[in-house]
């Protein structure tokens, strides 16, 4: 019944689109939805690579049954045990009780914990090979990209990398599956947002995984979220490489909180100065309105970061505190940092912003500005000077 997209010779896309979920991990908005990608290889033996969220298991299992047309499913490769990809494993095993589940030792501990499955397992390690006829898989361990059990499966005949969540992106596939078949308008920023929110803390493991892939010829990347990469492989790898090295582009993200507009005026003045000093990529985020996922995306994207906050109950503004916590968790490195704040009767925010920069080991640039009450000429000039100093540092770098 279902016509499947053939990625390569007898390799089919059997993933699903999720346009229902409001927030990924109940945290990150999904304005364009999300995919759960799975792939079926039909050869002398049949292999399924990963499953999908259990909410879509009926549709998913029907597609597999139609594709196999009465044949058994011989192997299930589990590259990643997160429930959005492993949620249908128990139901799949019920439908195909003889299927061998391929994974590593850490995979099997999670498989027992989530699904109570402890039999019919085929363990693989770094460099293990699985031959199913014309197609052969080599396995590479990629722990902490972004869970400890993650591994990649490389199909040697078609030179396809099944990469788990690596190179993934938010956004559904609206008809086309391969990148060359679709308009990539929003996928690049959704890739950055996905990386920042989901993978962001694990830059070093991503770099180790990328090093393993350097000697491998890759013609196609099949991630578990977003497009199948073929035409834009180098761009996708390049984005992950830069983000995992915390290598920001030339630009500045200004994050600010403001109750009555005074701190916002400071942010606007600093942005004006940045522009006057030659910075074109400037993003301002009001933490009371911008979602944290969009802020994190831009923190990862740009080299410069300036944070401003009013003093609130002798602390920083609560939503500034929240985004600082999210940035700290992700261990963002190598930022050129500036900060500013305001208060009415007793200042505390600027001192706390200074401590945050020191904790993150960022390069603090320019003289911080602390404004009492409304913006006056001296403070206005100080904001201009702060923007200019950050711009000159970024352009000098």
User: Do 282 and 385 sit in the same domain of this protein?
Assistant: yes
Do 183 and 313 lie in a common domain? no
Based on the fold, state whether residues 66 and 103 are members of the same structural domain: yes
Residues 268 and 226 in one domain: no
Contact 273, 388 (CB under 8 A): yes
Reported pTM:
0.94
Going by the DSSP 8-state scheme, the letter that residue 99 receives in this structure is P
Shared domain for 26 and 153, answered yes or no, is: yes
CATH code for position 110: 3.60.15.10
The domain boundary residue, chosen from 218, 244, 270: 244
Q: Do residues 2 and 62 lie in contact, with contact meaning Cβ atoms separated by under 8 Å?
A: yes
User: Along the chain (397 residues), what's the average pLDDT of each consecutive run of 10 residues?
Assistant: 87 97 96 98 97 96 93 97 96 97 98 97 98 97 96 98 97 95 92 96 96 94 98 96 96 96 95 97 98 98 97 93 98 97 86 97 93 82 96 90
Q: Could you give the number of structural domains in the chain?
A: 2
Domain boundary among 244, 262, 283: 244
What CATH number did the domain enclosing 277 receive? 3.40.50.360
Q: Are strands 46-49 and 75-77 parallel, antiparallel or unpaired?
A: parallel
Segment 54-82, tens digit of pLDDT: 999 999 999 999 999 999 999 999 999 99
The Cα 343–Cα 373 span in angstroms is: 6
Same domain flag for 240 and 199: yes
Per residue in 291-324, pLDDT (tens digit) is 999 999 999 999 999 999 999 998 899 999 999 9
Residues 97-151: tens digit of each pLDDT:
999 999 999 999 999 999 999 999 999 999 999 999 999 999 999 999 999 999 9
Residues 167 and 130 reside in one and the same domain: yes
Judge if 279 and 260 occupy the same domain: yes
153 shares its domain with 258: no
**159 and 234 assigned to the same domain:** yes
The domain boundary, picked from 244, 263, 285, lies at: 244
User: Is there a single domain that holds both residue 100 and residue 166?
Assistant: yes
In this structure, the answer to whether residues 22 and 127 fall within a common structural domain is yes
Beta bridge mates, 49: 39, 77
Range of the domain at 371: 253-396
Q: Which of 289, 316, 318 is nearest to 370 (CA)?
A: 316
Kindly state the tokens that stand for 376.
């006056």
């Amino acid at each position: 019944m279902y016509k499947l997209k053939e990625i390569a010779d007898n390799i089919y896309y059997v993933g699903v689109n999720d346009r229902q979920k409001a927030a990924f991990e109940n945290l990150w908005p999904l304005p364009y939805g999300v995919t759960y990608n799975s792939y079926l290889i039909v050869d002398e033996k049949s292999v399924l690579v990963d499953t999908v969220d259990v909410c879509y298991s009926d549709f998913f299992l029907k597609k597999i049954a139609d594709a196999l047309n009465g044949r058994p499913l011989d192997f299930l490769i589990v590259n990643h045990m997160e429930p959005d990809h492993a949620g249908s494993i128990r139901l799949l095993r019920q439908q195909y009780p003889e299927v061998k589940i391929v994974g590593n030792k850490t995979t099997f501990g999670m498989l027992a914990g989530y699904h109570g499955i402890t039999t019919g397992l085929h363990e693989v390690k770094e460099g293990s090979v699985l031959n199913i006829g014309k197609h052969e898989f080599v396995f590479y361990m990629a722990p902490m990209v972004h869970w400890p059990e993650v591994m990649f499966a490389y199909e040697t005949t078609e030179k396809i990398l099944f990469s788990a969540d690596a190179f993934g992106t938010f956004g559904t596939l609206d008809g086309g599956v391969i990148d060359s078949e679709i308009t990539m308008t929003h996928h690049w920023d959704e890739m950055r947002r996905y990386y920042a929110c989901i993978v962001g803390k694990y830059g070093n493991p991503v770099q180790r995984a990328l090093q393993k892939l350097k000697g491998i010829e890759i013609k196609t990347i099949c991630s578990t979220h977003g497009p199948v990469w073929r035409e834009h492989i180098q761009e996708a790898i390049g984005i992950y490489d830069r983000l995992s090295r915390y290598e920001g582009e030339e630009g500045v993200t200004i994050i600010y909180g403001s109750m009555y507009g005074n701190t916002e005026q400071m942010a606007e003045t600093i942005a004006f100065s940045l522009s006057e000093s030659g910075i074109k990529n400037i993003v301002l985020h009001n933490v009371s309105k911008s979602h944290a996922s969009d802020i994190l995306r831009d923190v990862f994207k740009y080299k410069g970061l300036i944070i401003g906050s009013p003093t609130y109950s002798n602390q920083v503004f609560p939503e500034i505190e929240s985004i600082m916590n999210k940035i700290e968790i992700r261990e963002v490195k190598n930022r050129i940092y500036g900060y500013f704040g305001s208060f009415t009767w007793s200042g505390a925010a600027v001192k706390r912003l200074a401590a945050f920069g020191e904790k993150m080991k960022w390069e603090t640039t320019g003289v911080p500005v602390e404004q009492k009450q409304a913006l006056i000429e001296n403070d206005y000039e100080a904001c201009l000077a702060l923007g200019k100093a950050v711009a000159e540092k970024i352009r000098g770098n």
